[in-house]
């Protein structure tokens, strides 16, 4: 068990959230087209096969609009929601530059500012799910089910816990394109089922530390949580390139539906 942990958001009054997702977040996480394009293609195919014409899609935890903007370019009616104003500002600018209409809302995924049954699909991607304690994570899923229309779809993408535990490196480093050094430390807490990821960003003589904690569920646990929220898992994948769900699959992508 780790000796020091970053507690779930509501236990710290969200103190670490603005820092971690602040101006340095987009430096720490840079996604080339080779990563994003297959994800968008998977999502577009999944949504096209299931949504009615002009169906509304909510990107929950949309961040800088990495998925929402290209989906909007493909003709989907996407709404982005995030708690971080700085990331929404980036998403708005990038949407304008791309010439797409992307409504953006600042809000808490535990208390979605949408009426019951008003969206056709919800996306929650790149491990945006799991920052809270178990009860609050369950509340997020209940909110997803609430705003979905009857027969609506939910695509949930999280880390595959089995592969994470088998292959995570306790300590690693990488060089960013701008020359800065990032030193990462990864710790797993068996008691809580959470990992803590600490990163030190070294810019010349200056070093800044960032950390976040995420609850990682097994596939079985997530299916039970979704079922309790009124969402039935209809399909699953181990990634966005057609990977089957297996122990070493990089991701856990669940496609669930509300009761018809």
At 14 the pLDDT is 43
Task: Return phi, psi of residue 138, to 5°.
Answer: -65, -35
Q: Is domain 30-160+217-258 given the CATH code 3.40.720.10 in the classification?
A: no
Radius of gyration, CA atoms only, the chain: 18
pLDDT along the chain (260 residues), means of 10: 39 49 84 95 97 95 97 97 94 97 96 97 96 94 98 98 93 93 95 93 91 94 97 97 94 93
At 9 the pLDDT is 44
The answer for residues whose C-beta is within 8 angstroms of residue 102's C-beta and 6 or more apart is 65, 68, 69, 72, 78, 79, 80, 91, 92, 95
At 24 the pLDDT is 84
Give pLDDT tens digits for 205-225: 999 998 889 999 999 999 999
At 20 the pLDDT is 66
> Going edge to edge, which strands form the sheet with 181-189?
171-175, 181-189, 194-203, 206-215
Residue 235 near residue 245, CB atoms below 8 Å: no
Task: Return phi, psi of residue 91, to 5°.
Answer: -60, -40
CA distance readout (Å), 228 to 4, 16, 137, 232, 244 = 32, 30, 12, 9, 25
Would you kindly state where each structural domain of the chain is located, as residue ranges?
A: 30-160+217-258
At 17 the pLDDT is 57
DSSP sequence for 16-54: THHHHTSTTHHHH----HHHHHHHHHHHHHHHHTTSPTT
């Amino acid at each position: 068990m780790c000796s020091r942990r970053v507690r779930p958001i509501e236990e710290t009054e969200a103190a670490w959230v603005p820092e971690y997702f602040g101006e340095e977040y987009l430096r720490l996480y840079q996604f080339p087209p080779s990563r994003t394009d297959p994800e968008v293609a998977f999502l577009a195919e999944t949504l096209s096969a299931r949504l009615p014409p002009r169906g509304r899609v909510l990107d929950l935890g949309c961040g800088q609009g990495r998925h929402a903007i290209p989906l909007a370019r493909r003709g989907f009616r996407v709404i982005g929601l995030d708690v971080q104003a700085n990331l929404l500002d980036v998403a708005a600018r990038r949407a304008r530059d791309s010439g797409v209409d992307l409504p953006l809302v600042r809000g808490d995924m535990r208390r979605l500012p949408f009426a019951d049954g008003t969206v056709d699909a919800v996306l929650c991607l790149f491990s945006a799910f799991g920052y809270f304690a178990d009860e609050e994570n369950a509340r997020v899923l209940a909110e997803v089910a609430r705003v979905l229309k009857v027969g609506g779809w939910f695509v949930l993408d999280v880390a595959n816990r089995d592969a994470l535990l088998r292959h995570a490196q306790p300590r690693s480093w990488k060089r960013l394109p701008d020359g800065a050094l990032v030193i990462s430390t990864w710790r797993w807490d068996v008691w809580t089922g959470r990992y803590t990821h600490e990163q030190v960003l070294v810019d010349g003589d200056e070093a800044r530390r960032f950390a976040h904690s995420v609850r990682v569920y097994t596939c079985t646990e997530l299916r039970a949580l979704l079922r309790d929220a009124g969402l039935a898992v209809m399909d699953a994948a181990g990634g966005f390139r057609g990977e089957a769900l297996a122990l070493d699959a990089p991701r856990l992508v669940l496609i669930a539906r509300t009761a018809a």
